Amino acid sequence: MANSKRKLLLNALRDTILPAITTGGGYNNSVQTIERGLKEIDSIPDSSFPAIYISRSTEERTNITINQFQSRLKVILVAYVKRADGSAQEVMDDFIEDISKALEQDRKQGGLVKWTEVKSIDTDDGDLDPHAACAIVVEFNYVSEGVTP
């Protein structure tokens, strides 16, 4: 059985889209960890920051035909940084910029979706210093191929 568009997209986030975040690629940071699922910030070794976790998702589907649908897949990316010096919140702001840029480089994500939209960004209260965390809600809109949802 072929992989669903949902699975292809989530794996593309992990394997292609987010790994593009490197200082050599023109970003502020080089991401060290990208995983599906979520880990507690205290369980992550220092060498794994900055980190992005493809955490939770919500999908709304609307039938087009008996075996085809339109999907609005909302994915929550949880990002963690650790500051070397200065403000952890400013380091997080730079990382949010990097993640947004990576997602917006190709809003069709190589043809996997019709469009991509960053819907919301929530940061911590600044009480995790020397770490900082945020949750970014990204919506991907696509149409299934008709055979595999």
pLDDT, tens digit, 9 for 90 and up, residues 69-117:
999 999 999 999 999 887 899 999 999 999 999 999 999 999 999 999 9
Is the residue at 149 inside a domain?
Answer: no
pTM above 0.85, yes or no: yes
124 located within any domain: yes
Q: What is the mean pLDDT of the chain?
A: 92
Q: Rounded to an integer, what distance in angstroms lies between the CA atom of residue 101 and that of residue 134?
A: 16
- Using alpha carbons only, give the angle 99, 103, 108 rounded to the nearest 5 degrees: 175
- Report pLDDT digits (tens) over 13-27: 999 999 999 999 999
Q: Which domain holds residue 114?
A: 5-143
The secondary structure of residue 3, as a DSSP letter, is P
Residue 48, strand partner residues: none
Residue 148 lies in a domain: no
CATH code assigned at 9: 3.30.70.1700
- Number of structural domains (the chain) is 1
